[in-house]
Amino acid sequence: PILQYPDFEIPFTLYTNASKKGLGAVLSQKKDGKKYVIAYVSRLTNKTEENYPITDLECLAIIWSIKHIHHYLSRPFTIVTDHAAIKWLKTSKMPKGRRARWIIELQQYHFNIEHRAGKHNANADALSCIIEIEEESLLLNYVKKQLDQLPIIRNMVQQNLQKEQQKQKDQYDEKLKKIVSYQIGDL
């Protein structure tokens, strides 16, 4: 779905999910009986997070997504997850380490938790099942696509690249090398 502008008079719903490879969340609102997407967020898990138990990964997905889109969540909202992790986290008697930190972070928000089976939480699930891609390659492909969409910039970049390549070739040309060094010496 296409992103919509948020209406801060209508409650938000945050759908979250986690896998060993990634975290995903979708922020949406319901207007006139239809759900509208406000934001999509996702990221790859790091090497340490890949080793978390699934309960901790699901909690991490919630904590991370709330941090990422906190500017929308100043009013009560609903978290929809396919795991009871956050309910467990909120009722834990003696949390330690990261779980204790997560509880403290969540205390500033007012939210309800709804459980939804994974097959009915497909939007966030798809975002959490990210195929690992080299970040540099991903960035390069993004830049290339952007350049292809902007012909003027693409032409300028290509012209500058051609000039730079020509400069490098000229430096190795013996005849031009003497001319260039002579002209630079006169300046």
- pLDDT on residue 160: 66
Which bin fits 16, alpha (ψ -120 to 50), beta or left (φ > 0)?
beta
Sequence-distant (6+) residues with CB within 8 A of 14 are: 25, 26, 27, 62, 65, 66, 69, 73, 77, 78, 79, 80, 111
- pLDDT on residue 12: 95
Residues of the chain with CATH 3.30.420.10: 12-132
Could you report the per-residue pLDDT of 77-87, keeping only the tens digit for each? 999 887 776 67
- Is pLDDT larger for residue 131 or for residue 169? 169
- pLDDT on residue 1: 62
Question: pLDDT tier at 144 (50, 70, 90 boundaries)?
Answer: low
Which residues make beta-bridge pairs with 14?
A: 27, 79
Average pLDDT of the residues of the chain: 76
Could you report the per-residue pLDDT of 16-46, keeping only the tens digit for each? 888 888 888 889 999 888 888 898 888 888 8
Superfamily per CATH, domain 12-132: Ribonuclease H-like superfamily/Ribonuclease H (3.30.420.10)
